[in-house]
Chain A
Amino acid sequence: MSANAQHVEDLNAYLESQANKSLLKFITCGSVDDGKSTLIGRLLYDSKLIFDDQLSALEADSKRSGTQGEEIDFALLVDGLAAEREQGITIDVAYRFFTTDKRKFIVADTPGHEQYTRNMATGASAADLAVILVDARQGMLTQTRRHSYITSAFGIRKVVVAVNKMDLVGYDEDTFKRIEADYRAFAQQLDFTDIQVIPVSALAGDNIMASSDNMSWYDGPALLPYLETVDVSEDREAMPFRMGVQWVNRPNLNFRGFSGTIACGVVRPGDKVMAQPSGKSSTVESIVTYDGELEAAGPGEAVTITLADEIDISRGDVLVAQEQPAQVSDQLQAHVLWMHDHDLVPGRQYNLKCGTRQVPCVVTELKHRINVNSLETQPGKTLELNEIGVCNLSLTDKIVFEPYGDNKEMGNFILIDRQTNDTVGVGLFDFSLRRADNVVWQALTVDRFHRSAIKHQRPCVLWMTGLSGSGKSTIANMLEARLHDMHRHTYVLDGDNVRHGLNRDLGFVEADRVENIRRVGEISKLMADAGLLTIVSFISPYINERKMVRDLCESGEFVEVFIDTPLEVCEQRDPKGLYKKARDGEIKNFTGIDSDYEPPVSPDIHVRTTELTPEQNVDKIIEYLEAREFLRAPTL
């Protein structure tokens, strides 16, 4: 036999054996120094996945920055970032790959430090199973509870509790039994279906690859044999068909397909499907792939579907089995895990991404926070980094979803800050609040067009933002007087006036400031709807909230006017004596002193009070309004 024929035969035999292997994705978690990285390093090392050059680099590294003296420090294999090596800790999720004769594994090594809980949730979101480490000397810690709760909340049903460092407690059976009993008692509050508790020593290799002679009292499986055989399959094929449309595929006028990854269920040509949220139906014509058309496609497959009818479908829509549609709502309750240094602020607008859809949304109410140590609920105004809470969400548009408990793929979402674009939170949908279905906007016979036409003007919201004492009220009042002389219909909303009435229940902390602006934004919107030229004079320090009001208004109706006066000048003027009080510490959270002001990046009108007189600045605003035809009757 030629060398190559031998290669072909060997290779095919090998590939055959590989094809039959299943994949297990698991996370390791637990408190700091419980030995997670060491355990993974041990698994990689013992399953012969470390190459010679990596091993020699490891030996050198172990001597330089290892914590095990002359011995190999397995943790260095996985702690990849310079900061981690210096501090001897894990600070970010690391993904590792290894294979045994029976199975392929992807393991996410997640950090134990509290501030990195968000990374632990990241690892959990993609895992079938969790290995939770407990240091035999310490027993259960706060982090053990926290990670167990997150593991359970993110839908993992099977866990291994690896009681590690058994070598350091003399392989004592009683110590192990006590920790096992503690854990099982605690876990009764969680949703695990299987808990396997195994005594191990990752460093010494006890009960990792095979049962250890040091613990003959233990008659359960060793860690790896358990991981190789545990059944984590989930029957997603039996669920109703759902596929989020990612991309509309139009190579030419004759082809229009909808590309996406099937979340669950099976689809075949001839199946009746519905596009949600629109509710329009059609029949599957073909399932197109590069490798040919398919007779059927199932969960996880990335395909392109063509339909028999030309119905309007775009990215973000979901194709579902017609007879078994998903839920549609714009008012939902969800569990949210906060992932950012800046607290969640109810009332602030975030972008919600679920599936292939992005929609602006507001947390209308934080119902309660969950203490992940005691699993008790607590009231709260905001969520801080790593806190979990139950929230009501209000979306600007309807989305297609299912409760996370019923369908993971259709029930998860992330929250994105609209200004920085950071991913600030993740969530799991609980259920629709259904209020959205009951509130139907009254179609009125007199609408905004009629109201503004009779006033010979197009309504707008002139939003004046600037520091306290910058001259907002002066210019607002002068502008209103001028417009009134021109027979225009106006109204001025002033920060101080509104705070004495409508918003007197609100203070000056960030959450209250956001709610203050939200209310004023809603009122401005109603005023504009009434056909008025609405002048709003508000410090409104945050870019996000001004953006929220802009989005609330009809397109083109929101005019941001930046009253730009340097802080020193405002402080010098100090018309109400507030800066002095703030400097003296009598007033807290005063904008410009101990609370931020975020100036507009590109305001529609930039008023520099130190360069022009108030009269000249009012002229400038009037010119703007005339140029954009706000001072004329609208045309249909």
Chain B
Amino acid sequence: MSQAATSQSNSSSPAANAGLAAPADQSHLARLEAESIHIMREVAAECENPVMLYSIGKDSSVMLHLALKAFYPSKPPFPLLHVDTTWKFREMIEFRDNTAKELGLELLVHINQDGVDQGVGPFSHGSQVHTDIMKTQSLKQALDKYKFDAAFGGARRDEEKSRAKERVFSFRNAQHRWDPKNQRPELWNLYNTRVNTGESMRVFPLSNWTELDIWQYIYQENIKLPPLYFAKMRPVVERDGLLIMVDDERMELEPGEVPQERMVRFRTLGCYPLTAAVESDADTLEGIISEMLVSRTSERSGRVIDHDASASMEKKKQEGYF
């Protein structure tokens, strides 16, 4: 449903009765959309060298869709950056490349070559070391390399407790560190985008969206998603109560483990060994959303990385993680 359509069909307001077209009262999603667009335009206007972190998941897909809207008829005036840990699902990489090509957007892909040379991976080094080197350090390398002074991320405040306290414009010092106790006050829709050389901003245009809003918006706008979100027979093994998909030959099976074909899908996307599948037969967008409405676990529970100590996300963010 487009804004144009709603604005024309509204006939109950006084202005409409006076014979003039009236704007639609903004729905909840339209409000969120307008707020995100406002944030993106502030960055485009005030920052010198912005970039959009594109992680291929549903939140990135929504963020990218909003960027197309924010600058229309221009294209978004910044490139996309994907920090590739080399352990993403193959379907994600394919989807990423097709999306950038179809939209005609510049896509930068950064891989931490030092990490690759040292053979860092989730199986050999564990999830924490892998994530730190191939994701956090890699992201910092990329931001330094291109000298970006602002980077959009798709994080939402409803995801996790430390994120609930992060600003929309989150200041990072020259070492990319976040200081949660010294954040710039953020009032009304006035964002302070100023940084000195070497410092930067992480900008979260989806801060006020909830997971449900994201799904509703995807449905309303018919946004294309990677097929991994939809249920399909996939080869998985069960480890520590989590279903892990065997996406390529690098997945070493433990004694007695035999991959089983199960009907599964993913609620979040990341490195395949660190992202658990859920059993589901929801193979349509409607099915996914219906399933989500009755879910009793939060989406991050599928992320192996969040199961560490309770303040782990805050610590990672201080060190430069998104």
* A residues whose Cβ falls under 8 Å from a Cβ of B: 3-4, 7-8, 10-11, 14-15, 18-19, 21, 23, 51-54, 57, 61, 77-83, 85, 91-97, 99, 104, 106, 118-119, 121-122, 125-126, 237, 246-247, 249-251, 255, 257, 259-261, 266, 268, 288-302, 304, 315, 339, 351, 353-356, 408-409, 412-414, 416, 421-423, 426
Complex contact B311–A82 (CB within 8 A): yes
Report if B84 contacts A (CB, 8 A): no
Complex contact B75–A251 (CB within 8 A): yes
Q: How far is the CB of A108 from chain B (nearest CB, A)?
A: 10
Q: How far is the CB of B286 from chain A (nearest CB, A)?
A: 4
Complex contact A11–B23 (CB within 8 A): no
Contacts of B7 in A (CB 8 A): 294-297
Closest B residue to A15 using CB positions: B216
Report if B118 contacts A (CB, 8 A): no
Contacts of A355 in B (CB 8 A): 190
Instruction: Choose from B42, B70, B284, B296 the contact partner of A52 (Cβ within 8 Å).
Output: B296
Instruction: Choose from B20, B183, B219 the contact partner of A11 (Cβ within 8 Å).
Output: B219
Report if B175 contacts A (CB, 8 A): no
Contacts A82-B314, A247-B45; is A290 near B72 (CB within 8 Å)? Answer: yes
Contacts of B31 in A (CB 8 A): 23, 300
Q: How distant is the Cα of A339 from the Cα of B190 in the complex, in angstroms?
A: 15
Instruction: Choose from B20, B71, B208, B314 the contact partner of A106 (Cβ within 8 Å).
Output: B208
Complex contact B286–A423 (CB within 8 A): no
Q: How far is the CB of A414 from chain B (nearest CB, A)?
A: 5
Q: How distant is the Cα of A245 from the Cα of B59 in the complex, in angstroms?
A: 28
Q: Which 5 A-B pairs have the closest CB atoms?
A: A80-B161, A298-B23, A295-B21, A291-B2, A292-B4
Instruction: Choose from A14, A80, A261 the contact partner of B165 (Cβ within 8 Å).
Output: A80
- In which size bucket is the chain B interface? 35 or more
Complex contact A250–B74 (CB within 8 A): yes
Q: How far is the CB of A87 from chain B (nearest CB, A)?
A: 12
Complex contact B21–A412 (CB within 8 A): no
Q: How distant is the Cα of A7 from the Cα of B23 in the complex, in angstroms?
A: 32
Instruction: Choose from B20, B74, B190 the contact partner of A249 (Cβ within 8 Å).
Output: B74
Q: How distant is the Cα of A19 from the Cα of B164 in the complex, in angstroms?
A: 25
Report if B181 contacts A (CB, 8 A): yes
Complex contact A288–B190 (CB within 8 A): no
Contacts A51-B298, A353-B192; is A302 near B38 (CB within 8 Å)? Answer: yes
Complex contact B34–A266 (CB within 8 A): no
Report if B37 contacts A (CB, 8 A): yes
Report if B290 contacts A (CB, 8 A): yes
Contacts of A21 in B (CB 8 A): 28
Complex contact A126–B23 (CB within 8 A): no
Q: How far is the CB of B145 from chain A (nearest CB, A)?
A: 23
Complex contact B164–A80 (CB within 8 A): yes
Closest A residue to B313 using CB positions: A80
Report if B41 contacts A (CB, 8 A): yes
Contacts of B3 in A (CB 8 A): 289, 291-292, 294, 301
Contacts of A257 in B (CB 8 A): 73
Complex contact B21–A268 (CB within 8 A): yes
Complex contact B45–A356 (CB within 8 A): yes
* B residues whose Cβ falls under 8 Å from a Cβ of A: 2-5, 7-8, 15, 20-24, 26-28, 30-31, 33-34, 37-38, 41-42, 44-45, 68-75, 157-158, 160-165, 180-181, 183-190, 192, 194-196, 199, 207-208, 210, 212, 216, 219-220, 281-282, 284, 286-287, 289-290, 293, 295-298, 301, 310-311, 314-315
Closest A residue to B164 using CB positions: A94
Q: How distant is the Cα of A508 from the Cα of B68 in the complex, in angstroms?
A: 55
Complex contact B183–A422 (CB within 8 A): no
Q: How far is the CB of A487 from chain B (nearest CB, A)?
A: 42
Complex contact B185–A237 (CB within 8 A): no
Contacts of A268 in B (CB 8 A): 20-21
Contacts of A302 in B (CB 8 A): 33-34, 37-38, 41, 70
Closest B residue to A259 using CB positions: B41
Q: How far is the CB of B302 from chain A (nearest CB, A)?
A: 10
23 contacts between A and B (CB under 8 A): A4-B287, A11-B290, A52-B297, A85-B310, A91-B181, A92-B181, A94-B161, A94-B165, A95-B164, A95-B207, A97-B208, A246-B42, A259-B70, A290-B68, A291-B5, A294-B23, A296-B22, A298-B22, A301-B34, A302-B41, A356-B45, A421-B196, A423-B185
Complex contact A416–B4 (CB within 8 A): no
Closest A residue to B7 using CB positions: A294
Q: How distant is the Cα of A297 from the Cα of B26 in the complex, in angstroms?
A: 10
Complex contact A78–B301 (CB within 8 A): no
Q: How distant is the Cα of A118 from the Cα of B181 in the complex, in angstroms?
A: 13
Q: How distant is the Cα of A122 from the Cα of B189 in the complex, in angstroms?
A: 11
Contacts of A3 in B (CB 8 A): 281, 287
Q: How far is the CB of B94 from chain A (nearest CB, A)?
A: 25
Q: How far is the CB of A302 from chain B (nearest CB, A)?
A: 4
Instruction: Choose from B30, B194, B220 the contact partner of A416 (Cβ within 8 Å).
Output: B194
Contacts A80-B162, A80-B164; is A119 near B45 (CB within 8 Å)? Answer: no
Complex contact B185–A122 (CB within 8 A): yes
Complex contact B189–A261 (CB within 8 A): yes
Complex contact A122–B210 (CB within 8 A): no
Q: How distant is the Cα of A85 from the Cα of B182 in the complex, in angstroms?
A: 17
Beyond contacts A298-B24, A301-B34: 9 other A-B pairs, Cβ-Cβ < 8 A, are: A23-B31, A78-B161, A81-B180, A122-B186, A249-B73, A261-B37, A290-B72, A298-B23, A301-B3
Closest A residue to B210 using CB positions: A97
Q: How distant is the Cα of A10 from the Cα of B284 in the complex, in angstroms?
A: 13
Q: How far is the CB of B285 from chain A (nearest CB, A)?
A: 9
Contacts of A297 in B (CB 8 A): 7, 23
Instruction: Choose from A83, A255, A289, A304 the contact partner of B4 (Cβ within 8 Å).
Output: A289
Instruction: Choose from B164, B190, B281, B290 the contact partner of A353 (Cβ within 8 Å).
Output: B190
Contacts of B311 in A (CB 8 A): 81-82, 85
Q: How far is the CB of B259 from chain A (nearest CB, A)?
A: 26
Instruction: Choose from A18, A83, A121 the contact partner of B187 (Cβ within 8 Å).
Output: A121
Q: How distant is the Cα of A297 from the Cα of B301 in the complex, in angstroms?
A: 41
Contacts of B181 in A (CB 8 A): 81, 83, 91-92
Q: How distant is the Cα of A247 from the Cα of B39 in the complex, in angstroms?
A: 11
Q: How distant is the Cα of A299 from the Cα of B25 in the complex, in angstroms?
A: 9
Q: How far is the CB of A240 from chain B (nearest CB, A)?
A: 14
Contacts A7-B284, A251-B75; is A296 near B298 (CB within 8 Å)? Answer: no
Complex contact A300–B26 (CB within 8 A): yes
Q: How distant is the Cα of A536 from the Cα of B26 in the complex, in angstroms?
A: 59
Closest B residue to A413 using CB positions: B190
Q: How distant is the Cα of A251 from the Cα of B75 in the complex, in angstroms?
A: 8
Closest B residue to A257 using CB positions: B73
Contacts of B42 in A (CB 8 A): 246, 356
Complex contact B210–A51 (CB within 8 A): no
Q: How far is the CB of A54 from chain B (nearest CB, A)?
A: 6
Complex contact A80–B190 (CB within 8 A): no
Q: How far is the CB of A316 from chain B (nearest CB, A)?
A: 9
Complex contact B287–A412 (CB within 8 A): no
Q: How far is the CB of A439 from chain B (nearest CB, A)?
A: 29
